[in-house]
Amino acid sequence: MPVAVELRDVSFAYDGGRPVLEHVSLSVEAGEFVAIAGPNGGGKTTMMRVALGLERPTSGEARLFGEPATRFSGRSTLGYLAQRSQLGVDAPATVREVVSAGRLASGGLLGPLRRRDRAIVAEAIERVGLSDHSDVPLRTLSGGQQQRAFIAKALAAQPSLLVLDEPTTGVDVEAQEALADLLDRLHRELAVTVLYVSHEFGAVERFVERLVLVRRGIVFDGPPKDLPGFWHDRSHVHGHHHA
């Protein structure tokens, strides 16, 4: 299987400022479910943007499925859920319209969606449990439901890679648990590679196989259980204490 995401000795600084990332090397195999953690400002979002080819590294190299990330030919197969503030949840669009936009982007289609595209959109909405809300304006839904709608939008492109940046912001604990269960199911059923970027991990800790901790460089990379006391002592990287 090709390596899905590869960073080779990547450093990055914004316009001559001090480095946000220094000498980062990371390899994610296709089909892995990886959590990327670290304090706010530690560089994890920048690392993901470089990995996705949205930023060019100051030095080093980023590759997606073997191609240079900035020139990746399968861009439409990347499901990227940006931080909530950038998602545009105030638009009057319905759930179906939002998810259909993900399908349009993938096919480069103009005009109405074909029957197969409509079926893929409906299936994506069903997978995230929003079939009963297809024609409801997105802005009337709860934070957790909005989040699932954006995951469905990403799924409509039939992605090979799903990247979620701080997906639990503004979402209550119950919705976080539901989101974690959903991602675990998608990972198993669709064999999609999942990168879950967050400073809090309460919900997904049961499912991730690998944790990458970023503080300008990678300070830990391995199974979560190998980081002693991690879930219980490091309040800055998980969401809620377990009872």
Domains and CATH numbers, the chain: 3-88+161-237 (3.40.50.300)
CA angle 31, 114, 30 (to 5 degrees): 5
pLDDT at 240 over 90: no
Per-residue confidence (pLDDT) for residue 243, from 0 to 100:
36
pLDDT-derived band of residue 92, with 50, 70 and 90 as boundaries?
confident
- pLDDT for position 88: 62
At residue 229, the pLDDT reads 63
Residue 113 pLDDT:
67
The sign of the torsion formed by the CA atoms of 169, 197, 128, 103 equals: positive
Across the range 98-125, mean pLDDT stands at 80
Whole-number average pLDDT of the chain: 85
With tokens 């020139």, the residue in question is 71
pLDDT in tens, 151-183: 999 899 888 899 998 887 777 888 888 888 999
Top pLDDT among 89 and 34 is at 34
Report the interhelical angle of 95-107 vs 143-156 (nearest 10°).
30
